[in-house]
């Protein structure tokens, strides 16, 4: 079921108050493909923009980019993948073609001084291809970084990664992209997310994606969990003495809010 | 994430993915004959082999709301015996007044199949329990200490010192009969009553248990509050007193930290990990919270690290599926959840 626009706005505002430095607000993609994000313009225009907080939005192509900027977006994200089959199934083109499309977005973003974050999906495994080579991930990450993305978020899209594969993948990518420009986006479908994130931290990664209350199941495994929960991540980082600027209690309250609104249990 | 594809049915099945990702097949090496393999380390600095101690039938079932019939317990343990697990904690010889879930300890002990190469330790809180366990055929026992005075008092109604004295009686009898004794230290990373627990206290209690003859000390994060930070500090303190090869970690997943904590421990050279099939056993101190870490999830991680356990992940998942069906509950294992769409194996 689609979440009401006002609930989304409330959620984002609450997240803004927790101290999180970045909150991914919405996706400027056609509602034909992603109906849950159909209200992207209203959400973008409705949220309160807290000073010091970035509100990136997904922009899969130039049209989406233009709509995003018109709605007030000041940062955008583009989504690539380390798997040819995944790219074909997802956006009906090859990796090379997808990067060409992104090239248009990059050019427009550069002209407008808008930072672009690049995501690479399937970095530790693909629901169609299975194993993904670390070299391939490094190749795609490098291309996106060279195109001008300020940060590359490496996504374990189906959560199959383990500390072993995470380490191998990061070692390969860090040869091509400075570790300071790397982020990890781990899914907890197999319960491995925090262990994988720990390994990434040990290798010098200092940007981690997470989702409040672990929102977002896995579309490839019915009933399985998806995103790692921001609360669990912050708990671990607090225990490690790593500074995040995030107030865990406020974060948990935000999680409670959205779970009540969605009538579901937290992950 | 990006657009969700409509062609989900073209996905590889998860079993295919697991096979590829997890090196599932015959265990690479048979379980070692001795309880403690030498510390062989990989180039990565991680142990080559990790012994998994399966606590589901005892710690797990003891903390489940439902009282499990004896024949189900026996069936579970028999299934676990066929997975390659080297040690399975069977039951607890404690008064049924205190722990009704373990009242059938004799029947379970006598009823299970004993597979060669598999250890079947049982809890024995005192000499009486020990004798009863031996009479029922036990060949290994465990004693449970705590790093917290308050927890010791609330749990077994005596101080740490008094509990150590009782365990010494057990250890002495065990020694006379050549029965190995495993020592547990609860609240190693935090106590539900005292809060913070200082690492040197954990080291002190561990040392007492080790000195009285326990061959292995399992350090338990009883309420799951630990993080890699506190795990590291605690292990550093304990490793000053106990050889690495005699240490095990028993992590609870109440705050989702278990695998990260286990990873930290094995990075420090710990090569014995306790876990519970399907993550059986909630947390008695936090209603609705999870408890034991799931064996399936641990094995998944260790397989991915290239660490040998001798355990077949599929058969563990099947055993987990069996007990969850019997208990009419959902598994706590994420690996099992991701692998079974409907709760039964495809």
End-to-end CA gap in chain A: 18
Q: What percentage of chain B carries pLDDT values higher than 90?
A: 77
Q: What percentage of chain A carries pLDDT values higher than 70?
A: 99
pLDDT, tens digit, 9 for 90 and up, residues A73-107: 999 999 999 999 999 988 889 999 999 999 999 99
Query: What would the mean pLDDT of A42-49 be, rounded to a whole number?
Result: 97
Closest listed residue to residue A182, CA positions, set A202, A163, A206: A206
Any idea how long chain A is? 267
Which residues of chain B neighbour A89 with C-beta distances below 8 Å? 5, 7, 10
pLDDT, tens digit, 9 for 90 and up, residues B92-148: 999 888 889 999 999 999 999 999 999 999 999 999 999 999 999 999 999 999 999
The reported pLDDT for the residue numbered A33 is 83
Which residues of chain B neighbour A34 with C-beta distances below 8 Å? 3-4
In a domain, A9, yes or no: no
Q: Which two tokens stand for residue A121?
A: 């999906």
Q: Choose the closest CB to A162 out of B260, B304, B341.
A: B304
Query: What would the mean pLDDT of A14-18 be, rounded to a whole number?
Result: 98
Which residues of chain A neighbour B195 with C-beta distances below 8 Å? none
In a domain, B64, yes or no: yes
Q: Where does residue B30 rank: exposed (0-12), middle (13-18), buried (19+ CB within 10 A)? A: exposed
In a domain, B252, yes or no: yes
CB A181 within 8 A of CB A233: no
Positive or negative, the Cα torsion across B194, B197, B201, B202? positive
pLDDT at B46 over 80: yes
Closest listed residue to residue B42, CA positions, set B28, B21, B24, B25: B28
Q: Which two tokens stand for residue B141?
A: 């026992």
In a domain, A34, yes or no: no
B29: closest CA of chain A, how far (Å): 20
Chain centroid to CA A8: how far? 17
CATH number, domain with residue B77: 3.20.20.70
Kindly list the catalytic residues of B.
283
In a domain, A33, yes or no: no
* CB < 8 Å from B in window 182-201 of A: 188-192, 194-195, 197-199
Query: What would the mean pLDDT of B184-191 be, rounded to a whole number?
Result: 96
In a domain, A146, yes or no: yes
The reported pLDDT for the residue numbered B40 is 64
End-to-end CA gap in chain B: 28
* Residue B313, CA atoms < 13 Å, CB-side half-sphere: 26
Cβ-defined contact of B263 to A199 (cutoff 8 Å): yes
pTM (two decimals): 0.89
CB A43 within 8 A of CB A80: no
Query: What would the mean pLDDT of B62-90 be, rounded to a whole number?
Result: 95
CB A52 within 8 A of CB A21: yes
In a domain, B85, yes or no: yes
Which position has the token pair 């607090």?
Answer: A238
In a domain, B273, yes or no: yes
More confident residue, B11 or B101: B101
* Strands, sheet with B87-88, edge to edge from the N-terminal-most edge strand: B87-88, B51-54, B272-275, B247-251, B216-221, B181-186, B141-146, B122-123
pLDDT, tens digit, 9 for 90 and up, residues A103-145: 999 999 999 999 999 999 999 999 999 999 999 999 999 999 9
CATH number, domain with residue A137: 3.20.20.70
Q: Quote the number of domains for chain A.
A: 1
pLDDT at B31 over 50: no
- No. of H helices and E strands in chain B? 13, 8
The 3 state secondary structure assigned to chain A is: CCCCHHHHHHHHHHHHCCCCCECCCEECCCCCCCHHHCCHHHHHHHCCCCCCCECCEECCCHHHHHHHHHCCCCCEEEEEECCHHHHHHHHCCCHHHHHHHHHHHHHHHHHCCCCEEEEEECCCCECCCECCCHHHHHHHHHHHHHHCCCEEEEEECCCCCCHHHHHHHHHHHHCCCCHHHEEEEEECCCCCHHHHHHHHHHCCCCCEECEHHHCCCCCCCCCCCCECEHHHHHHHHHHCCCCCCCCHHHHHHHHHHHHHHHCCCCC
Query: What would the mean pLDDT of B63-80 be, rounded to a whole number?
Result: 94
The reported pLDDT for the residue numbered B19 is 54
The reported pLDDT for the residue numbered B315 is 97
In a domain, B346, yes or no: no
A256 forms beta bridges with none
A164 interfacial to chain B (CB closer than 8 Å): yes
Q: Which two tokens stand for residue A160?
A: 């199959």
Predicted interface score ipTM higher than 0.95: no
Query: What would the mean pLDDT of B193-203 be, rounded to a whole number?
Result: 96
Which position has the token pair 């002190």?
Answer: B204
- What average pLDDT does the structure give for chain A? 95
The reported pLDDT for the residue numbered B12 is 54
Query: What would the mean pLDDT of A16-34 be, rounded to a whole number?
Result: 94
In a domain, A129, yes or no: yes
Predicted confidence band at B3 (pLDDT cuts at 50, 70, 90)? very low
pLDDT at A233 over 50: yes
Mutate to test the interface with A, among B199, B254, B304, B341 (most CBs of A within 10 A): B304
Which residues of chain B neighbour A225 with C-beta distances below 8 Å? 334, 337-338
Kindly list the catalytic residues of A.
218
A99 interfacial to chain B (CB closer than 8 Å): no
Q: How far is B343 from B200, CA to CA, in rounded Å?
A: 44
Q: Choose the closest CB to B305 out of A162, A219, A221.
A: A162
Query: What would the mean pLDDT of A163-183 be, rounded to a whole number?
Result: 98
Q: How far is B182 from B242, CA to CA, in rounded Å?
A: 13
In a domain, B198, yes or no: yes
The reported pLDDT for the residue numbered A220 is 72
Which residues of chain A neighbour B264 with C-beta distances below 8 Å? 198
Q: Quote the number of domains for chain B.
A: 1
In a domain, B173, yes or no: yes
Predicted confidence band at B44 (pLDDT cuts at 50, 70, 90)? confident
* Strands, sheet with A57-58, edge to edge from the N-terminal-most edge strand: A26-27, A57-58, A76-81, A116-121, A151-156, A182-186, A208-209
CB B242 within 8 A of CB B210: yes
Q: Rounded to the nearest 5°, which phi and psi values hold at B344?
A: -125, 155
Which position has the token pair 């209603």?
Answer: B287
- What average pLDDT does the structure give for chain B? 88
Q: Which two tokens stand for residue B286?
A: 């936090």
Q: How far is B262 from B272, CA to CA, in rounded Å?
A: 10
For residue A194, give its domain range.
53-261
For residue B321, give its domain range.
51-332
Cβ-defined contact of A194 to B260 (cutoff 8 Å): yes
Write out the H or E segment, with its range, that includes residue B62. helix B61-62
Q: Where does residue B277 rank: exposed (0-12), middle (13-18), buried (19+ CB within 10 A)? A: buried
In a domain, B260, yes or no: yes
The Cα-based distances of A145 to A82, A120, A166, A233 in angstroms read 14, 11, 20, 26
Q: How far is B3 from B6, CA to CA, in rounded Å?
A: 9
Assign residue A207 a region: left if phi > 0, alpha if psi is -120 to 50, beta otherwise? beta
B218 forms beta bridges with B184, B248
In a domain, A63, yes or no: yes
């Amino acid at each position: 079921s689609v979440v009401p626009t006002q609930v989304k706005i409330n959620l984002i505002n609450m997240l803004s108050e927790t101290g999180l430095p970045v909150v991914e607000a919405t996706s400027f993609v056609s509602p034909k493909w992603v109906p849950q994000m159909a209200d992207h313009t209203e959400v973008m225009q409705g949220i309160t923009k807290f000073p010091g907080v970035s509100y990136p939005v997904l922009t899969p192509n130039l049209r989406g980019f233009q709509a995003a900027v018109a709605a007030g977006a000041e940062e955008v994200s583009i989504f690539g993948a380390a798997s040819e089959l995944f790219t074909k199934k997802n956006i009906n083109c090859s990796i090379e073609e997808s990067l060409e499309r992104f090239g248009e977005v990059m050019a427009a973003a550069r002209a407008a001084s808008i930072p672009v974050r690049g995501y690479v999906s399937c970095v530790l495994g693909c629901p169609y291809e299975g194993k993904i080579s670390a070299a391939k991930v490094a190749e795609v990450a490098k291309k996106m970084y060279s195109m001008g993305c300020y940060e590359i978020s490496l996504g374990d899209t189906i959560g199959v990664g383990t500390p072993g594969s995470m380490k191998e993948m990061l070692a390969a990518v860090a040869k091509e992209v400075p570790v300071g420009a790397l982020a990890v986006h781990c899914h907890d479908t197999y319960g491995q997310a925090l262990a994988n994130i720990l390994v990434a931290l040990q290798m010098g990664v200092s940007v981690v994606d997470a989702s409040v209350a672990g929102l977002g199941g896995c579309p490839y495994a019915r009933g399985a969990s998806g995103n790692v929960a921001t609360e669990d991540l912050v708990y671990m980082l607090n225990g490690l003495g790593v500074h995040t600027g995030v107030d865990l209690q406020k974060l948990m309250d935000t999680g409670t809010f959205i779970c009540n609104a969605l009538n579901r249990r937290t992950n | 994430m990006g657009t969700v594809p409509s062609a989900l049915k073209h996905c590889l099945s998860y079993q295919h993915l697991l096979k590829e990702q997890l090196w599932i097949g015959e265990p690479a090496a048979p379980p070692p004959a001795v309880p403690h393999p030498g510390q062989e380390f990989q180039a990565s600095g991680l142990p080559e082999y990790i012994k998994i101690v399966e606590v589901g039938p005892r710690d797990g079932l003891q903390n489940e709301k439902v009282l499990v019939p004896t024949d189900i317990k026996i069936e579970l343990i028999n299934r676990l015996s066929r997975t390659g697990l080297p040690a399975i904690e069977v039951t607890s010889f404690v008064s049924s007044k205190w722990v009704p879930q373990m009242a059938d300890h004799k029947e379970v002990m006598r009823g299970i199949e004993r597979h060669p190469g598999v250890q079947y330790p049982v809890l024995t809180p005192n000499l009486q329990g020990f004798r009863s366990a031996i009479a029922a055929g036990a060949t290994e026992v465990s004693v449970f200490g705590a790093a917290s005075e308050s927890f010791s008092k609330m749990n077994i109604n005596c101080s740490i010192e008094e509990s150590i004295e009782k365990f010494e009686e057990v250890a002495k009898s065990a020694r006379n009969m050549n029965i190995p004794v495993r020592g547990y230290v609860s609240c190693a990373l935090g106590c539900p009553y005292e809060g913070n627990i200082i690492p040197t206290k954990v080291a002190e209690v561990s040392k007492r248990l080790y000195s009285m003859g326990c061959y292995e000390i399992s350090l338990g994060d009883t309420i799951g509050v630990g993080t890699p930070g506190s795990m590291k500090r605690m292990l550093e303190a304990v490793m000053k007193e106990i050889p690495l090869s005699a240490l095990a970690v028993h992590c609870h997943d109440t705050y989702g930290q278990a695998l990260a904590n286990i990873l930290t421990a094995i990075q420090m050279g710990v090569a014995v990990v306790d876990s519970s099939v399907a993550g059986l056993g909630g947390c008695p101190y936090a209603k609705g919270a999870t408890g034991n870490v799931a064996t399936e999830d641990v094995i998944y991680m260790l397989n991915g690290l290239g660490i040998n356990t001798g355990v077949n992940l599929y058969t563990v998942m099947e055993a987990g599926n069996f007990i969850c069906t019997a208990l009419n509950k959902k598994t706590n294992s994420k690996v099992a959840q991701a692998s079974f769409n409907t709760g039964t194996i495809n």
